[in-house]
Amino acid sequence: MRSDLQTTIANWRPDSDGDVGQQIDALLEQLLAAGLLRASACAVLLGEQYHLGGVEDTRRMAELVGVNGADRVVDLACYIGGPARHLAREYGCQVVGVDIFEDCIAIAEKLTELCGLTDRVRFICATADAVPEPDGSFTVAWSQGSFPSDLSWLTEMHRLLVPGGRIAFTGVIRRSESSDPSHCSLHEVQRRVTEAGFRVISAEDISDWELEHGWLPIRRKLEENEAHYRNLLGDEWVKKVYQSIDEDVAAWREGRLGSGRVVAVKE
Ligand SMILES: C[S@@+](CC[C@H](N)C(=O)[O-])C[C@H]1O[C@@H](n2cnc3c(N)ncnc32)[C@H](O)[C@@H]1O
């Protein structure tokens, strides 16, 4: 990890009287603005839950998969651990977050320590298709907003789960003839999940929900705080993010891009 990032996060302390979530968002803004954390331009608007729909999406998926205090969850592509901490805090489960980017893991570990969750949440820096944990280590394999279009992580999820273990993931799907052909349709995703040794419990097209609960709220957040972001990240950044959100909103509305959410059980 770079020493400038190390120093910034080592010295960071949330004020326990204030809203810790808001303070984490402010820390992330500072890291992203200083170029100490690499992420998409929209990352600053998403905070520690770096996927469309934020904590609401995490809650919905946790309810669908029935996360509970007996679960051992592996979160593939965990970023800085926002969803991992949420699952441990709300449901009392154990969570291992896995991310390929060591700076994300360093921040995840620091935030988890400051939130007092190190007894339930730990992190591993590794690629999601080769997690250095034994077969059958987990009861739930989880991933939000990062699943590769070739669905190759299904094999590793299957290996990591106990028999009867559950998977829950969201990812980009092909919704129409004009969609990027490298993505699978929701129907194809279900077929591939079944072929990988799982019984599908639910498979939903969540594109419209993501538009309402993801793209439109983050655009509003940008509009309402535009002066703050201009000051923090500059006019060019603001212009680029409006452009990028508007392109995605159009693609979502026209059915060129969208997302699916799948929950399944290992047979
Ligand atoms: C959009 S973020 C997802 C964030 C997280 N799932 C969440 O919902 O907050 C994408 C993350 O995937 C990670 N990533 C990309 N490729 C990966 C891989 N092959 N294995 C593990 N992590 C990966 C990136 O480092 C980044 O943190």
Candidates 2.130.10.10, 1.10.3720.10, 1.10.10.10, 3.40.50.150; CATH matching 51-205+256-266? 3.40.50.150
3-state secondary structure of 37: coil
- State whether the Cα torsion 102-59-55-201 is positive or negative: positive
Give the count of alpha carbons within 13 A of 246, CB side only: 8
Cα–Cα dist 20/15, whole Å: 7
**Is the CB of 144 within 6 Å of ligand 1?**
yes
Q: Is the CB of 123 under 6 A from ligand 1?
A: no
Query: What span, in angstroms and rounded, lies between the C-alpha atoms of 215 and 251?
Result: 11
CA of 78 to the centre of ligand 1 (A): 6
**Segments making up each domain of the chain, as ranges:** 51-205+256-266
Q: Which helix (H) or strand (E) holds 194?
A: helix 186-195
Out of 31, 79, 87, 123, give the residue to mutate to test ligand 1, the one with the largest number of ligand atoms within 8 Å of its CB: 79
What is the pTM for the complete model shown? 0.95
Report the nearest-CA residue for atom 19 of ligand 1: 127
Enter the tokens of residue 178: 């004009």
Q: What is the pLDDT along the chain (267 residues), one digit of tens a residue?
A: 567 887 888 888 888 788 888 888 888 988 888 888 888 888 999 999 999 999 999 999 999 999 999 999 999 999 999 999 999 999 999 999 999 999 999 999 999 998 899 999 999 999 999 999 999 999 999 999 999 999 999 999 999 999 999 999 999 999 988 888 899 999 999 999 999 999 999 999 999 999 999 999 999 999 999 999 999 999 999 999 999 999 999 999 999 999 999 999 999
CB of 82 shorter than 6 A to ligand 1? yes
> CB of 101 closer than 6 A to ligand 1?
yes
